[in-house]
Copies of this chain bind each other. A is one copy, B any other.
């Protein structure tokens, strides 16, 4: 197969970090991206070139293109962290082994990204996808499902029978609901809209708290008493989470993995750290990838794929946007915020 010299891609306009903290909401992409042409990237040693089938959109992508994520932008590089595609070239033993295989991947290198026709990634960051797995499930296979799986491992390791999960109508929240139910764990899901409650209960959340409910604080306090959750998994990092944390029992851990709320929380009770042994910490999937053993990674990825293939997990895709239409259509497609939006070349 002959590879083309150039390809279409969504190209970053900004460079480095931005001083803003505007969150994941996107009204228009014009300040951040442009649709254009880039040379097809070349794989170095230990890297593979992938023809992208489908790229997923995560909140981290939206933070990133704005310059508000934990990694700096490179102006002129393609955007997009995650997707699924076919390996068409590669350098090195493992890379050559992957040639011709369908893989899920994370993290473009050499100025490449998933929101493009081709991407170069480290072979080590590719996961061969079983044939029975749909592209829709494989495209968002790593970031959210592996985060859900490994965060649920934290809940299990803590010994807590229950946990609190904020922004629970996210894809991550839905994945967690099923994991919780199937493992006999009590998920206390915190959501914004009453209309989302039933679906989340069906997926496996035992309790659903709606932030706009005037009884929210009282209900949360009652659940903290009865279920005694020791883990708060939080994508919001705002005052609602801080107050939930304060209502939780001794030795509770507030684990922040996202920052949807742009207002900074106030820590009202220092005594909770001293006398109650509470803790605030963070979670980032990339650190898990750096620290976990190869065996743990393989077992986790296989378990995640099997959960999708068995139908225990399904990716709810609400919109699929073509690369050429992203600038025009993506902001509206993201608005409902209730399911996954995919990009196809």
Residues of A within 8 A of B (CB): 70-71, 237, 242, 256-259, 264-268, 270-284, 287
Contacts and interface: CB of A to CB of B under 8 A. Distances in A.
Contacts of A279: 279-282
Nearest to A256: B273
A273 B266 contact: no
Contact of A266 (B70, B265, B271): B265
A249 B318 CA distance: 41
Given A264-B268, A266-B264, A284 B280 contact: no
Contact of A283 (B264, B266, B274, B278): B274
A266 B271 CA distance: 16
Given A256-B270, A268-B264, A270-B259, A275 B237 contact: no
Given A264-B267, A267-B267, A282 B272 contact: yes
A278 B258 CA distance: 14
20 contacts: A70-B271, A237-B267, A242-B267, A256-B270, A256-B273, A259-B271, A264-B267, A264-B268, A266-B267, A270-B282, A272-B282, A274-B282, A274-B283, A274-B284, A275-B284, A277-B282, A277-B284, A278-B282, A279-B280, A279-B281
A277 B287 contact: yes
Contacts of A256: 270, 273-274
A277 B256 CA distance: 10
Contacts of A277: 281-282, 284, 287
B273 A282 contact: yes
A25 to B, nearest CB: 16
Nearest to A266: B264
Contacts of A270: 237, 256, 258-259, 264, 282
Contact of A70 (B265, B267, B274): B274
A196 B176 CA distance: 53
A170 B71 CA distance: 40
Contacts of A273: 237, 256, 280-282
A277 B287 CA distance: 9
Nearest to A284: B274
B274 A258 contact: yes
Nearest to A287: B277
Contacts of A71: 275
A267 B278 CA distance: 16
A34 to B, nearest CB: 26
B267 A275 contact: no
